[in-house]
Chain A
Amino acid sequence: MSAFQKLDGKLKLQTGTLAEARQAEHRIDLAEADDETLVARVQDGDSSAYDHLVQRYKERLYATVYHMTSNHEDANDLVQEAFIKAYKSIKSFKRESSFYTWIYRIAVNRTLNHLKRGKTRQHFSLDDIDTHIQNDPDFVELLSYVTPRREVGLSELQEKLNVALQKLSEPHRAVVVMHDVQGLTHADIAKAIGCSEGTVRSRLFYARQQMQGLLAEYL
């Protein structure tokens, strides 16, 4: 091997290492970047920035959609579709709201349309309950109230709760999930669904009344 070839090889190695280092730096940059920066980069054509947005919000979106459908596969499909829809129309996103609000709206609207079409899978595929529930003061208090009256298993409670939720109409279920499970404010829900705060309050009131009737034996 000639001296020139050796030098060329070394140069290539150094260039390769430099490129890898730059890529790693770029990845760290993106991981720490805020939503607005990531969205701007995606709009400029850097599709790898979108991966970080997906990683950031997949679980939160999944939770919302799952609570509305009570089915793993439906929730997974709908969240994937929401991310794809958002990616395809991100050029038209004007950044007037946060990216999360925007994609949340897309996911909720897709879920509501999906539920209206009646294409839901009929069986429940309930997620597991995490171990933190044993330390949740709300749950501990409820159990101390219900258990002396009758023996109640956690899975039984979970199933009854999901059955009761599925008996609500789609708009009422969405409001209960967003407010009572996810903890969103009336204003945020109104924005996400595209209705007035008064409508949100009214739906919430009606849905809770219905839930009280459906879950009377535990209340």
Chain B
Amino acid sequence: MNCRKTKELLHDFADGRLTEMVALNVQRHLTECSDCRVFQQREHRLQQLLAVKRHETPGTAYFDNFLGEFHRRLAVETAPRPSYWQQLCQRLHLEPIPTVSFGYAHALGAAVALVLLWRGLASVELPAGGEHQDFTASHSTPRMIASALPAKPTETPVLAQVALNAPRYVLDRLAATTPASYEVASLHF
């Protein structure tokens, strides 16, 4: 029997779980091999040292609330998960719509708002680019808007002329009055 095999069997040997023949072989090897004897002693002390772990206890009061904690965690685990809609509302810090009827009410409100907005747009008097249009219910809205726009500009708009004469940069404008030099500029704090 070699050293490795003996070392592997040492525990079973100590517990008397080996067959007579194998135990005899281990015993014989131990009497002959000093390395394995040292290993056996150290192994024995390691077992004794591990006894310290057996006596580590959290104290009796530690488990007093264990069952209560179990019930609390179980309630959280088994609680129904919020729907995607509710999660979205939570993320947006909105109150989720709790029932279907509330949902319908909101949808109806949104529809009414859209209709009002549509009618409001239709009744706006657009600036006169050509002839005055009489907006009636018989006209379709896209056509009304298209015809209300000016057909083609006949002359350059005033704003475009101002833009052409404007200085290109801020410093261009300053150059007319003060020199744009950081060296000569006096700093006032």
Q: List A residues at the B interface (Cβ < 8 Å).
A: 51, 54-55, 58-59, 62-63, 66-67, 72, 76, 80, 83-84, 87-88, 126-130, 132-133, 136, 138-139, 141-142, 145, 154, 157-158, 161, 165, 176-177, 180-181, 201, 204-205, 208, 211-212, 215, 218-219
Judge whether A129 and B52 touch: CB under 8 Å. Answer: yes
Task: List 13 A-B pairs, Cβ < 8 Å.
Answer: A51-B67, A76-B69, A80-B69, A87-B74, A88-B77, A128-B58, A128-B59, A145-B45, A154-B52, A161-B49, A181-B53, A212-B42, A218-B49
* Cα distance, A72 to B50, chains bound together (Å): 19
Nearest-CB distance from A202 to chain B (Å)?
A: 8
Nearest-CB distance from B60 to chain A (Å)?
A: 10
Q: A128-B59, A130-B57 are in contact. Are A157 and B52 (CB under 8 A)?
A: yes
Judge whether A84 and B70 touch: CB under 8 Å. Answer: yes
* Cross-chain contact of B49 among A129, A201, A219 (Cβ < 8 A): A219
Nearest-CB distance from B22 to chain A (Å)?
A: 14
Nearest-CB distance from B34 to chain A (Å)?
A: 16
Residue in A51, A139, A154, A165 with the greatest tally of chain B CB atoms within 10 Å: A139
* Cα distance, A5 to B52, chains bound together (Å): 67
Question: Beyond the given A54-B70, A59-B63, A128-B58, could you list 14 further A-B residue pairs with CB under 8 A, ordered by the A residue number?
Answer: A62-B58, A67-B56, A84-B73, A127-B57, A127-B58, A127-B59, A136-B54, A141-B48, A181-B50, A201-B8, A208-B46, A212-B42, A219-B45, A219-B46
* Cα distance, A212 to B41, chains bound together (Å): 11
Q: 8 tightest CB-CB pairs across the interface, nearest first?
A: A142-B48, A138-B51, A133-B55, A127-B56, A138-B48, A219-B42, A219-B45, A181-B53
Is B7 interfacial (CB-CB < 8 Å)?
Answer: yes
Number of interface residues of B (CB under 8 A): 31
Judge whether A54 and B47 touch: CB under 8 Å. Answer: no
Is B85 interfacial (CB-CB < 8 Å)?
Answer: no
Is B66 interfacial (CB-CB < 8 Å)?
Answer: yes
* Cα distance, A119 to B41, chains bound together (Å): 37
**Residues of chain A lying within 8 A (CB to CB) of residue B57:** 63, 127-130
**Residues of chain A lying within 8 A (CB to CB) of residue B53:** 67, 161, 165, 177, 181
Judge whether B70 and A161 touch: CB under 8 Å. Answer: no
Judge whether B8 and A80 touch: CB under 8 Å. Answer: no
Residue in B42, B48, B63 with the greatest tally of chain A CB atoms within 10 Å: B48
**Residues of chain B lying within 8 A (CB to CB) of residue A208:** 43, 46
Judge whether A142 and B69 touch: CB under 8 Å. Answer: no
* Cα distance, A75 to B21, chains bound together (Å): 44
**Residues of chain A lying within 8 A (CB to CB) of residue B54:** 136, 181
* Cα distance, A54 to B49, chains bound together (Å): 31
Nearest-CB residue, chain B, relative to A132: B55
B59-83 interface bits toward A, Cβ cutoff 8 Å, 1 = contact, 0 = none:
1000100110110011001100000
* Cα distance, A76 to B68, chains bound together (Å): 13
Judge whether B74 and A84 touch: CB under 8 Å. Answer: yes
Judge whether A158 and B56 touch: CB under 8 Å. Answer: yes
* Cα distance, A47 to B8, chains bound together (Å): 46
Nearest-CB residue, chain A, relative to B15: A185
Nearest-CB residue, chain A, relative to B57: A130
The A-contacting residues of B in range 1-22, CB under 8 angstroms, are 7-8, 11
**Residues of chain B lying within 8 A (CB to CB) of residue A218:** 45, 49
Nearest-CB residue, chain B, relative to A216: B42
**Residues of chain A lying within 8 A (CB to CB) of residue B63:** 58-59, 62
Nearest-CB residue, chain B, relative to A79: B66
* Cα distance, A142 to B46, chains bound together (Å): 9
